[in-house]
Amino acid sequence: LNNPWPRSKGGSNAKLLPWLRTEGDQSLDKFYNETVAKAFLQFYEHTAQVVWNQFMDATWNYVTNITNKNREEMLHKDSERSQHILFQDPAVKRMLSKLQNIDKAALPQDELEEYNKLLAYMETTYSMAQVCLNEGPCLPMEPDLQEIMVTSRDQKELLWAWQGWRNAVGHQLRITFERYVQLSNKAAKLNGYKDMGALWRSKYEPDTLEQDLEQLFQELQPLYLKLHAYVRRLIDPREPIPAHLLGNMWAQSWVNILDLVLPFPKKPPEDITKIMKSQHWKPSKMFEEADMFFTSLGLLSTPPNFWKKSMMERPADGREVECHASAWDFYNGKDFRIKKCTEVTIEDLLSIFHRMGHIQYFLQYKNLSVIFRAGANPAFEEAVGSMITLSASSHKHLLNRGLLSHQHQDSEEEVNFLMGIALEKIAFIPFAYLMDLFRWKVFDGTIQKDVYNQEWWNLRLKYQGMCPPIPRTKDDFDPGAKFHISASVPYIRYFISLVLQFQLHEALCKALGHMGPLHRCVHSPRDILKLGSSKPWPEVLQKITGQTKVSTKALMTYFKPLLNWLVTENVQQGEILGWPDFSCTFAEKDTDKVTFMSLELGPDQTKFGQWVLLAISLVMFLVALLLARRLYSLEKRSLSQDTNAQDTGSRDSSAPETQPKAYFLGIAMETRLVAKRHWILLGLCLILTLYSISLTIRVFTQHYRKPPWMRAEWWSWD
């Protein structure tokens, strides 16, 4: 590489731009020179490919083999990458700040190193966290805890996994997150933004982004309310939906409880995962299937290196790896990879299609400048990947690939199919919105560190209508149990892409001449990928859809048959949309304390007291039975004595009267009197027995909502 710019020992770019040097307060415009600027950008282009490639290589090595050595190498290369866009001369930095956002590289060197180590610690804590059984192995998120949340219907097991994951990750990151916020905001301010939330939002260009997003959410909220009301009735109609019962660790997707909420249970969808396993699918075949799908649409095939270097399943050699699925561009125009711990399921197959959509984007814009090798905005790239899955999950495509056997869908099967998509897409709407809403409020100081967790659940209740299954405290940090928060990945892209994917899908279907419902359309997105970020995203959107703004109309059209059914169903069932009277429980310290007969006791003490009450009820019942048996004997004996007395009187009226005696509480008395007192005692016992049973049921229902003998786990031997 012929370097036209001299370098200094102090930094790779300290003397790269002599044309930018200023003296005193001279105007910056005076030193602008377009020819020199072009020469610099050309040099930057060549060096960026090298530096960014080295950083991506080091990061890949770390996340696919988590060791201290690989971590140090990644941090070193990250520092080099930051130095590549970090200029030491204050005047140069001041001018460049007008040209580009240098993100965390704006931090002083010591704080930059601290920030990088902090980010690596947060992500590593998440990736290596496990939840341990009392006597047995420790389980990681993927695949073990994820499998529990997806398949289990045992509420105790679901709660164990839900709570255990948050204890393993959230607690560890609580203090670290405070320092992360401080350094993030400092980096943002050095870039000219008021806080990190403002810097993140700047990627989308319009100043009205927050208002635009709120408008989108308000348009989408009625869809979510209809779905929420329907699902809530089938899960727990009296309360906010408990966050651990929806088939997902974060309750962002509800598709795994489709079997519980299927509109037409007599026409269940075919089990595609079961079909895949019966056909002996492997992770490699799943990737090949996705690649074949793209090439069948006239798109580019993945290069040979992709198949050699990608991590398609969890390594069998015992390495610690980060399993969160991701697509990687190594910025050399030929190295593209996916990292995923693949399981043979339909969910993972569609996830692969999504990731391969990212790879296709990389391939299409690989000849652009490094600066433009990205989506038109962060949401665009996600939208393209998700749009691909809309085509790949269509009945037509799955039928063609031998993963379905029914040739056609009737109207009821169509509603069932759309319910499955809605549990993935519509259920995601509020979660995708509130993730960054929470962090923006943290960054701007609206949410203080003492109420991180409480405000997190306030947002979850306000937007999702759900609560934690157990009381949470200020010492918990449940947001950190989500990868994108622990890894500092902005999330609003997913909310925007949720809407954008349907808008793009509809436009491409119309261009293809598709007639009929949108969920039956399969198309090719080739022409929208080549521009990368070389054009403003509204211009790219207009080129595809004829519109310059994100619109919810296509999403509404896609789900129209299902929405019509939900409206009818909710009206027939008398469902009330929303949750105005719901609230979540937050405890300050003793969250394990339970009220038992006006006493604050621990769970074990409460459980013991409940069993004592139940035992007393049983004892009283047995006493009543014994008394009844005793009364029967006394009555029989009394009748026998009367008969004998009459016989004796007729034979010898002059003989002295000697009545046999019976005993009551140790006192001898006539049998008739003993029987009378026993009747009184039996009545008291029966009253006490009924009162004791009523009290037992009341205590159990206050604590558990249902008595234990009415819950499924009561009858389980586990």
Binding residues: 204, 354, 358, 382, 493
The residues with which 670 forms a beta bridge, in sequence order, are: 661
Write the DSSP string, 23-84: -TT--GGGG--HHHHHHHHHHHHHHHHHHHHHHHHHHHHHHTS--HHHHHHHHHHHHHHHHH
Cα(469)–Cα(163) distance, integer angstroms: 9
Residue type, 661: K
Two tokens at 199? 């810097």
Write the DSSP string, 528-558: GTTTTTSS-HHHHHHHHHS-SS--SHHHHHH
The residues with which 600 forms a beta bridge, in sequence order, are: 595
Which residues are CB-neighbours of 570 under 8 A, at least 6 positions away? Answer: 226, 229, 230, 577
Sort strands 138-140 and 241-242 into parallel, antiparallel or unpaired: unpaired
Enter the DSSP assignment of 668. Answer: E
The angle at the Cα of 454, spanning 448 to 460, to the nearest 5 degrees, equals: 115
Contact 408, 520 (CB under 8 A): no
Two tokens at 47? 């060096």
Q: Three-state DSSP class for 510? A: helix
Contact 52, 81 (CB under 8 A): yes
The distance from CA 248 to its chain's CA centroid, rounded to whole angstroms, is: 6
Burial of 424 (0-12, 13-18, 19+ CB in 10 A): buried
Report the binding-site residues for chloride: 204, 493
Output b/e per residue, 459-470; b: 16+ Cβ within 10 A: bbbebbbbbbbb
* 4 closest CA partner among 52, 33, 40, 38: 40
Cα(352)–Cα(312) distance, integer angstroms: 10
H or E, element range at 329? strand 326-329
Q: Three-state DSSP class for 399? A: helix
Two tokens at 215? 């408008």
Q: Three-state DSSP class for 698? A: helix
Rg (CA), the chain: 35
Two tokens at 698? 């009341």
Report the binding-site residues for Zn(2+): 354, 358, 382
Residue linked to tokens 């989408």 = 220
Contact 522, 396 (CB under 8 A): yes
